[in-house]
Amino acid sequence: MAALGWLTPRRRSATARSVLAGEASAEAARKSSQEQEELDELAAAAPPEEAAEPAEPEFPVAGDTKAAAFFDLDNTVMQGAAIFHFGRGLYKRKFFERQELFRFAWQQAWFRLAGVEDPEHMQDARDSALSIVKGHRVAELMSIGEEIYDEYMAERIWPGTRALAQAHLDAGQKVWLVTAAPVEIATVIARRLGLTGALGTVAESIGGVYTGKLVGEPLHGPAKAEAVRALSAAEGLDLARCAAYSDSHNDIPMLSLVGHPYAINPDAKLRKHARERDWRLRDYRTGRKAAKVGIPAAAGVGALAGGAAAAIALHRRRH
C-alpha cells in the first residue's frame, strides 16, 4: 500500500493518529474490494429469497443497501489472533529465527489463556512483524498469506459468526472485517470467507516494498471506529442501520457507532457493558471448545510449555 504522504506529519495527537489510521485503512479497504464490486452489485440486485421463519425477522433487512456489517477478526470470527498465526507461517518460511517464534508463541499463549487483548503484547507483536517484513514486497506477503490461511487459520473460523456474516450477505449487504492485523492479511481472510473486504492496519510501502513503518497507528480501539466512520461515509451507509460484532471491550467505540451492536464471545468487560445497554450477545464457546482454545497454538515448540505455565500464573496473580 503506497504511503499517504500528505496525511503523515511527524507529530500528531493520539486522536489525530487514530483518524489517520482509520482513513488510511478505509482507503485501502475500498481499493482491495474493487475487483469484486461488480459481482457484489449483481448479488445485491438479485431478488431476495423468502426466508423460512427467521429467528430475528427484523434484522438484517433484506435489500437494505444503506446497511452493512462490520466484524472484528480475532476471537470474533477466528479463534486466536491472526497476527500470531501469520508469524508462525513466516517462521516456517525462514523469515526469522527461533527466538522470535518463542516470542510469538508466548504472546499467543497469553492471548488464548487470558482471553483479552494485552496492549503491550499486541504492540510488541506488531513491532516484530514490521521489522520482519521490512524490505519484502507487498505481493510476496499477499501470496504467502494465502498459504498461511490454509495452514493455520481456516480451521479456526467460528461457524456461528460465519453464519451471521452470511446472513448479511444473503440480505444483499456488504460485510467488512475490521482488525488490527495487517490489511493485506485481513484482505486475504475476507476474500477466502467470501466477504466484501477488510479494514486493517496499513503498513507503509514505497514501490511495492515495505518500509517497516505504519501509516498512522495500528487499527485498534478508537482507530477502528474512525475506519468504520470513514468507510461508511465513502460508501453512503447509514450507521444507524448497520451492525458491528466484536469480542473485546476495546471495540466499544466501534460497537457504539452502529444501530445494531453485537457482543460475540465477549470478554468480561464487554459482556457487562452489553448487558447494561441491552446489546445482543452471542457466545459460540462451549466448555469443550473453550478448553481447546486454551491450548497454545505452537504447542510443538519446546519452550512453549513453560511460557504457557507462566501465562497462567501471571493471569491468576492479576485476578
CA angle, 236 then 240 then 245, to 5°: 100
Number of other residues whose CB lies within 10 A of the CB of residue 156? 15
The Cα–Cα gap between 11 and 206 comes to 21
Give Cα 117 to chain centroid, integer Å. 12
- Please give the span between the terminal C-alpha atoms of the chain, in angstroms, as a whole number: 41
User: Is 72 one of the catalytic residues?
Assistant: yes
Are the C-beta atoms of residues 236 and 229 closer than 8 Å to each other?
Answer: no
Q: Among 40, 64, 74, 283, which one carries the catalytic annotation?
A: 74
**Residue 63 in grid coordinates:** 435489500
99-104-107-108 Cα dihedral, nearest 10 degrees = -140
From the number of C-beta atoms within 10 Å of its C-beta (0-12, 13-18, 19+), residue 124 rates as middle
Candidates 72, 247, 251, 267; catalytic one:
72
Alpha-carbon distance 109 to 121, whole Å? 11
Please say if 118 is a catalytic residue: no
Residues 29/183, Cβ–Cβ less than 8 Å: yes
Determine contact, residues 138/1, Cβ cutoff 8 Å. yes
Tell me the catalytic residues.
72, 74
